[in-house]
């Protein structure tokens, strides 16, 4: 898997839980702080209002002493005592003169300077500015102001933990002396300020409402958080689900496979990577439809899932191919298990025999690149080919070297064509009657700048597989036409030169016109160009083939069939095709039976060709005895190492003086 792809997948499925948890904690902390601030602000406001009421009450009592003298003393004192009896918040009243000498006290007590409220502080409380100093029942000093309350927390604990809590019993109370100057006296009023739960009712309601709002928000956040987690899990499941089988996909196979191989550090288990595919799957889809093909793959997956053991993994790869990472003890046991798996797959469609190919790579210690291991197994299956009778193939180093060579060939082929690295070699065809040059076959050779001379069998099969053979055939045809044109201009004698036309060309209906356009650029007579086609071309579009051959012969080209006898329908091909030349395959002259059965068949083929007005060319001739036999059978031309190997065009021209 590429790094970019891996990073995108990790980013897509990344579970961002921690940021959400931190966000929830932050919300709870902020909510708690807000509630605390609301509570504190409410408490401060309540206490301030109570203090202001006490100041107002104390001021009214102090006003009674404006006319205080010996004549009105008893009446004022009596009235003060009546106020004390009536007002629950007033405990006592004391009066001193300017020199702090006692004048009168309702209970005989006078406060000290340490626990009284000065005139200035009284004025400040009245103006709702700094505040006052209070003294509770424990003679502790506290400060209250409009910014908040600086108070020993025990007072609030006493409020909420009061065992006598009721509608008529206060949470707690504050006692303090308020000093109000009247004339030349100081009137000091001892106030008892009770705090009832009713005073905090609005605060409680506010706190409850805020708490409910915060709870709703937190619940909504939790629901969103859970939904996000579920979405992440759902996304992860989608990422790792195969769209055809509904099971594990290739990404999960790589992940699980890598984890298994990492855990197997000490090689306690032997692992084998398998590429298993159904042969002719595309043919199945052509016959029964793509949907049926996908249903078949799904059934394969279900059957394979049952065969997977602990510490093994399997997934659908593509088309009807599956990757399996299996454990094994011996190769024989592994092969037996594969056969068992193939038998199980064959049961998914009763009555239909299906064939499978399996490529195997035996995983070595410390190998963990699952994709590379699978690629090796796939190469083994590919190199065996679909037509292989053996359904099991093991990967070896030579296979990898072959794939590397194919890659190099494909990388260099276009450059080689542009640089004319492909060169024409000519192999002469000798007339048996006069032992003179009767023609030649054009063969391609690759002169690579670094690899040197590359024989055709190392690149032609690759070109046939990837389609580059079409360009190479056109190149060879043009090169032969150019050579013939040069020889014609030099006054040399021209002989027919045969050029191969691969079966891939016969997919186009205008092939005859295409060939004519190439040759006509060099104004060469069509009669000196022979076009060789293989018998395998007959198994493609027969109508296109017959029509193309007819057009080529009408245009003056000679058409020959190469490797006659190598297939299974040669006689049928001769019946359908009107050909000029028949080339007998060299295999008839090789092997233990060449002396008898092979030569007998050659003799009959030559006789048949004569009756069909066709020339006979025997290729691959290497001995004098073979030449004598063919001469006796009146074979027209002989091509082979007995006379000459393929050679460059210049050497051919010099040797045969064409």
Tell me the mean pLDDT per 10 residues along the chain, length 658.
Answer: 54 58 74 76 76 81 80 77 76 83 82 53 38 37 37 34 42 75 84 72 75 78 76 77 86 90 85 91 86 90 90 90 92 91 89 88 87 89 70 79 86 94 94 88 94 91 90 94 93 92 85 93 93 74 83 92 68 79 80 67 86 90 88 90 92 83
Among 303, 310, 316, residue whose Cα is nearest residue 246: 316
Phi-psi region of 141 (alpha: psi -120 to 50; beta: other; left: phi over 0): beta
Per-residue DSSP letter, 368: -
Q: Look-up: residue for tokens 């004390």?
A: 84
- Coil, helix or strand for 596? helix
Fold of 418-656: TIM Barrel (3.20.20)
State the pLDDT at residue 171.
Answer: 60
- With contact defined as beta carbons under 8 Å apart, do 74 and 155 qualify? no
Helix 119-126 / helix 17-63 crossing angle, nearest 10 deg: 120
Among 298, 248, 282, 272, residue whose Cα is nearest residue 358: 272
Q: Do domains 250-395 and 418-656 have the same CATH topology?
A: no
- With contact defined as beta carbons under 8 Å apart, do 473 and 500 qualify? yes
For residue 418, what is the enclosing H or E element?
helix 397-418
Detail the DSSP E strand segments found in 35-171: 90-97, 102-105, 116-117, 132-135, 141-145, 148-150
Residues 566, 575: Cα–Cα separation, whole Å: 17
Q: CA dihedral defined by 124, 126, 132, 138, rounded to 10 degrees?
A: 160
Residues 596, 335: Cα–Cα separation, whole Å: 43
Domain ranges across the chain: 17-208, 250-395, 418-656
Q: How many CA atoms lie within 13 A of 368 on its CB side?
A: 12
Residues 548, 511: Cα–Cα separation, whole Å: 7
Per-residue DSSP letter, 598: I
Give the bridge partners for 234, in sequence order.
none
Q: Which residues contact 96 (CB under 8 A, 6 or more apart)?
A: 102, 103, 110, 185, 186, 188
Q: Which residues contact 578 (CB under 8 A, 6 or more apart)?
A: 549, 550, 553, 559
Give the bridge partners for 616, in sequence order.
582
Number of H helices, E strands in the chain: 20, 23
State the pLDDT at residue 10.
Answer: 57
Give the bridge partners for 359, in sequence order.
275, 393
Q: How many CA atoms lie within 13 A of 396 on its CB side?
A: 4
CB atoms within 10 A of CB 400: 15
CB atoms within 10 A of CB 278: 21
pTM of this prediction exceeds 0.75: no
What distances in angstroms separate CA 479 from CA 486, 530, 532, one per listed residue? 11, 14, 16
Per-residue DSSP letters for 572-588?
Answer: HHHHH---SEEEEPGGG
Q: Look-up: residue for tokens 């046991």?
A: 333
- The distance of Cα 229 from the centroid of its chain, to the nearest Å, equals 20
Give pairs for 410-413: CB < 8 Å, separation 24+.
Answer: 410/462, 410/466, 410/468, 412/448, 413/459, 413/463, 413/468
Q: Which residues contact 621 (CB under 8 A, 6 or more apart)?
A: 586, 589, 627, 630, 638, 639, 640, 641, 642, 643
Exposed/middle/buried for residue 268 (C-beta within 10 Å: 0-12, 13-18, 19+): exposed
Q: Which CATH superfamily is domain 250-395 in?
A: Reverse transcriptase/Diguanylate cyclase domain (3.30.70.270)
The number of residues making up the chain comes to: 658
Q: Where are the alpha helices (DSSP H) in 321-396?
A: 331-345, 370-384
State the pLDDT at residue 16.
Answer: 59
Tokens found for residue 200? 């905090």
Q: Could you write out the three-class secondary structure of 454-475?
A: ECHHHCHHHHHHHCCHHHHHHH
């Amino acid at each position: 898997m590429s790094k970019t792809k891996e990073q995108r997948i990790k980013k897509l499925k990344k579970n961002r839980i921690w940021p959400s948890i931190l966000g929830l904690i932050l919300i709870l902390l902020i909510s708690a702080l807000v509630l605390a601030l609301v509570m504190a602000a409410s408490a401060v406001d309540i206490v301030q209002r109570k203090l202001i009421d006490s100041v107002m009450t104390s001021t009214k009592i102090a006003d009674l002493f404006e006319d205080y003298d010996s004549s009105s003393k008893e009446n004022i004192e009596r009235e003060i005592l009546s106020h004390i009896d009536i007002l629950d918040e007033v405990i006592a009243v004391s009066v001193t003169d300017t020199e702090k000498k006692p004048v009168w006290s309702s209970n005989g007590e006078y406060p000290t300077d340490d626990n009284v409220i000065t005139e200035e502080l009284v004025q400040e409380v009245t103006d709702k500015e700094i505040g006052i100093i209070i003294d509770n029942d424990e003679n502790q000093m506290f400060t209250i102001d409009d910014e908040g309350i600086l108070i020993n927390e025990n007072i609030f604990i006493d409020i909420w933990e009061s065992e006598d809590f009721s509608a008529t019993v206060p949470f707690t109370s504050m006692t303090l002396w308020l000093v109000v100057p009247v004339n030349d006296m100081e009137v000091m009023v001892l106030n008892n300020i009770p705090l009832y739960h009713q005073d905090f009712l609005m605060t409680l309601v506010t706190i409850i409402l805020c708490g409910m709002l915060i709870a709703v928000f937190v619940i909504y956040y939790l629901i969103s958080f859970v939904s996000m987690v579920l979405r992440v899990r759902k996304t992860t499941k989608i990422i790792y689900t195969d769209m055809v089988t509904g099971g594990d996909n290739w990404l999960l196979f790589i992940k699980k496979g890598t984890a298994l191989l990492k855990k197997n550090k000490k090689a306690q288990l032997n692992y084998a990577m398998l590429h298993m595919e159904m042969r002719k799957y595309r043919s199945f889809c052509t016959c029964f439809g793509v949907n049926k093909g996908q249903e078949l793959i799904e059934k394969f997956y279900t059957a394979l899932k049952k065969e997977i053991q602990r510490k093994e993994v399997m997934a659908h790869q593509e088309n009807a191919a599956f990757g399996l990472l299996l454990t094994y003890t011996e190769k024989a046991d592994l092969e037996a298990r594969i056969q068992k798996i193939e038998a199980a797959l064959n049961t998914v469609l009763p009555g239909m025999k299906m064939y499978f190919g399996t490529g195997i790579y035996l995983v070595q210690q410390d190998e963990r690149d699952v994709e590379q291991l699978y690629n090796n197994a796939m190469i083994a299956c590919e190199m065996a080919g679909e037509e292989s009778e053996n359904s099991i193939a093991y990967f070896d180093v030579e296979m990898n070297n072959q794939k590397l060579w194919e890659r190099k060939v494909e990388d260099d082929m276009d450059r080689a064509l542009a640089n004319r690295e492909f060169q024409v070699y000519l192999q002469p065809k000798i007339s048996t009657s006069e032992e003179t040059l009767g023609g030649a076959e054009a063969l391609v050779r690759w002169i690579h700048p670094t690899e040197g001379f590359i024989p055709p069998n190392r690149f032609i099969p690759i070109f046939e597989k990837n389609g580059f053979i079409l360009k190479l055939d056109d190149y060879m045809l043009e090169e032969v036409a150019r050579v013939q044109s040069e020889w014609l201009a030099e006054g040399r004698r021209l002989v027919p030169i045969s050029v191969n036309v691969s079966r891939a060309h016969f997919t186009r209906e205008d092939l005859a016109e295409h060939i004519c356009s190439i040759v006509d650029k060099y104004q060469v007579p069509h009669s000196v160009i022979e076009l060789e086609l293989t018998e395998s071309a007959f198994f493609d579009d027969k109508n296109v083939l017959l029509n193309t051959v007819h057009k080529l012969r009408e245009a003056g080209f000679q058409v020959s069939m190469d490797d006659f006898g190598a297939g299974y329908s040669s006689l049928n091909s001769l019946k359908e095709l009107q050909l000029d030349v028949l080339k007998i395959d060299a295999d008839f002259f090789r092997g233990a039976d060449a002396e008898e059965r092979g030569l007998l068949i050659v003799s009959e083929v030559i006789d048949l060709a004569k009756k069909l007005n066709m020339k006979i060319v025997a290729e691959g001739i290497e001995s004098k005895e073979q030449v004598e036999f063919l001469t006796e059978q009146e074979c027209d031309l002989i091509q082979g190492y007995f006379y000459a190997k393929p050679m460059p065009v210049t050497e051919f021209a010099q040797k045969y003086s064409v």
